[in-house]
């Protein structure tokens, strides 16, 4: 919103001072491809820049070559000149001053975590609304009269009524409008999902005031989203649509994983099944890749929330149907771990196992509901010598702390190897695999793929890869939009003399400086040159595809590899001396 609307001030508030400090530094608390480019412009502002209006030629000109004309599009005359983009002031702010910022806002968006309840009524299914209610109360207390209150969090159906009741309690007689505006984005592609949104959903009350509020919020999105992609519904439909969308995607994942189990028992190939089924246009090919199940903060939580809603509405058959989606997901993950143990002669004593990938999916450092964590839990019960973990996007210190916190109490003893346990988190894949009896590919990072003998080419360090590197110029309008400039930024970052540059248009202002004791800077320094970048403050710097021949040389026989994501060429890996087990295919040994 801030990136595409430089005239709007967007303030992000949070009580967590550490989180806000990181948002105001070179080390944002989350990794997401493309985030750095958007954040640097909106948070830090931008310098004036100049580039040739048409394609080709020398784009390094830094002179002030403004173009003035009565036309608003690029005619042939203007396509031959230069375009000057004026400087831009910062309009994205991060602060802990919650009450003050709420009181100043015309629109307040509530975007807090809504996990599954762990105790009390509905434990294990119902949505825990503790944080949401607390924030809603603060908003009700401080929001200015007439403010628009927007649900961004995924919430149970009819939550808007709860907010309206709280507003009426805290501010009787004061008018507010409550909207539902859920996000439809995925970790690892969130920025691209936002920049190229397939739809924006806004739910409101069917009143003149409610419709005006929806139009006001829609006007913010229309700066980059076509109006035809903005869907307006009643507020309860919007809330429920988010739950249903995630539940149906989760359903597809569980469905294809159930078929993968049949393939492993019959000799059919799950990839061939997926291709054949996905060719039917009524079904499509998306979310038909078998693996070790879905993870993340949304799918499981939202399926369970939908099941709980059905139970409260006295629809037990509906609830049972959706609970089967989660049951199949857990079965898939447990079946993979059991397959590993079985292939290793039903004992892990004295053996080292390596898990490649800790995040729940590639191109993110989000580890919530990660399948890897549950696999570690299962493997620990077998008493291995070591469980090695490597993830190119996850901060090793954070990963260690999370594993210790989540597995320590349940295990009843030390978890981390440095404290006498068995889990060790590495900063590079080769050290993690050195001396291993088995390697488990748990996350579908591209660098884990086997690309063939001698093919260890570097992966693109640009978050957005396109089949063709097309110059987006000339633009449709004389004054380029931020979307136009971002497209040009990506093009220059992959071509010509500016290839690999993080600021090919020379627009970025200096990023905030870190303190001398910044823990993120110290981690980067101490990790050394062979460590991954972990996405801290920028793009995930993928060095190159793994050299699986090198890994094979340093592994212990019989060199087991368990491909839980369908990344590896089995025949090619076998030629390197590996014994490969993969999801959805029958073992050939």
Q: Is the peptide bond before 558 cis (omega within 30 degrees of 0)?
A: yes
Q: Is position 298 annotated as part of the catalytic site?
A: yes
- Coil, helix or strand at residue 116: strand
First and final C-alpha spacing in the chain: 55
CB 299 within 8 A of CB 291: no
SS3 assignment for 196-232: CCCCEEEEECCCHHHHHHHHHHHHHHCCCCCHHHEEE
Binding residues, as ranges, are: 114, 154, 242, 287-291, 295, 301, 361, 368
Cβ burial of 463 (10 Å; 0-12, 13-18, 19+) is: buried
* Residue ranges at the known binding site for substrate: 242, 287-291, 295, 361
Contacts of range 524-529, beta carbons closer than 8 Å, 24 or more positions apart: 527/396, 527/427, 528/427
Annotated binding site for NAD(+): 114, 154, 301, 368
**Distance from C-alpha of 563 to C-alpha of 584, rounded to nearest angstrom:** 10
CA distance 443 to 548: 16
CB 168 within 8 A of CB 139: no
Cα 457 to Cα 545: distance, rounded to the nearest angstrom: 6
For residue 451, cis peptide bond before it (omega within 30 degrees of 0):
no
**Angle formed by the axes of helices 519-527 and 396-411, to 10°?**
100
Q: Catalytic residue among 49, 157, 263, 298, which?
A: 298
CA atoms of 55 and 496, how far apart (whole Å): 13
Collapsed DSSP state (helix, strand, coil) of residue 25: coil
d(CA 450, CA 468): 24
Nearest to 67 by CA among 55, 56, 58, 75: 75
Instruction: Write out the catalytic residue numbers.
Output: 298
């Amino acid at each position: 919103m801030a990136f595409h609307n430089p005239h709007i001030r967007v303030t992000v508030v949070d009580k967590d001072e550490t989180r806000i400090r990181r948002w105001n530094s070179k080390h944002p608390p989350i990794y997401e491809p493309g985030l750095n480019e958007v954040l640097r412009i909106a948070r830090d502002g931008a310098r004036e820049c100049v580039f040739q209006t048409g394609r080709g030629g020398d784009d390094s000109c830094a002179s002030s070559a403004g173009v003035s004309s009565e036309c608003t599009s690029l005619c042939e005359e203007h396509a031959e000149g230069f375009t000057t983009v004026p400087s831009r002031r910062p309009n994205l702010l991060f602060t802990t001053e919650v009450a003050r910022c709420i009181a100043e806002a015309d629109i307040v968006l509530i975007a807090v975590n809504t996990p599954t309840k762990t105790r009390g009524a509905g434990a294990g299914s119902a949505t825990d609304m503790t944080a949401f209610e607390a924030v809603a109360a603060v908003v009700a207390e401080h929001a200015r009269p007439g403010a628009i209150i927007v649900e961004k969090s995924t919430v149970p159906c009819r939550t808007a009524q709860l907010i309206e009741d709280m507003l009426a309690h805290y501010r009787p007689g004061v008018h507010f409008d409550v909207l539902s505006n859920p996000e439809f984005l995925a970790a690892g592609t969130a920025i691209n999902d936002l920049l190229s949104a397939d739809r924006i959903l806004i739910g409101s009350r069917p009143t003149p005031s409610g419709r005006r509020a929806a139009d006001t919020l829609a006007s913010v999105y229309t700066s980059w989203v076509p109006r035809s992609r903005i869907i307006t519904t009643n507020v309860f439909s919007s809330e429920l649509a988010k739950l249903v969308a995630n539940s149906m995607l989760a359903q597809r994942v569980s469905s294809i994983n159930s078929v993968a189990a049949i393939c492993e028992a019959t000799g059919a190939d799950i990839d061939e099944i997926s291709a054949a089924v996905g060719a039917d246009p009524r079904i499509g090919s998306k979310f038909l890749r078998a693996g070790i199940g879905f993870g993340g903060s949304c799918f499981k939580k939202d399926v369970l929330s939908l099941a709980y809603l059905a139970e409260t509405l006295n629809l037990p058959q509906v609830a049972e149907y959706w609970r089967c989606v989660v049951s199949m997901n857990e079965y898939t993950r447990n079946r993979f771990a059991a397959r590993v143990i079985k292939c290793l002669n039903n004992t892990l004593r004295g053996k080292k196992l390596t898990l490649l990938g800790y995040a729940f999916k590639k191109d993110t450092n989000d580890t919530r509901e990660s399948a890897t964590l549950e696999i570690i839990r299962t493997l620990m019960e077998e008493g291995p010598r070591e469980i090695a973990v490597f993830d190119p996007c996850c901060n090793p210190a954070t990963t260690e702390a999370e594993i210790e916190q989540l597995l320590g109490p349940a295990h009843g003893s030390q978890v981390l190897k440095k404290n006498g346990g068995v889990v060790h988190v590495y900063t590079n894949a080769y050290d993690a695999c050195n001396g291993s009896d088995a390697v488990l590919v748990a996350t579908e990072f591209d660098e884990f793929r086997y690309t063939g003998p001698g093919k260890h080419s570097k992966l693109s360090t640009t978050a957005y890869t396109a089949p063709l590197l097309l110059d987006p110029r000339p633009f449709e309008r004389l004054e380029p939009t931020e979307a136009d400039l971002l497209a040009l930024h990506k093009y220059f970052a992959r071509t010509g003399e500016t290839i690999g540059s993080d600021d090919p248009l020379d627009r970025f202002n200096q990023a905030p400086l870190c303190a001398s004791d910044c823990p993120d800077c110290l981690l980067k320094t101490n990790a050394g040159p062979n460590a991954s970048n972990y996405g801290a403050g920028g793009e995930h710097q993928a060095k190159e595809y793994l050299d699986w021949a090198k890994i094979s040389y340093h592994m212990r026989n019989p060199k087991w590899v368990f491909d839980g994501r369908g990344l590896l060429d089995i025949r090619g890996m076998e030629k390197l001396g590996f014994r490969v087990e993969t999801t959805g295919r029958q073992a050939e040994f």
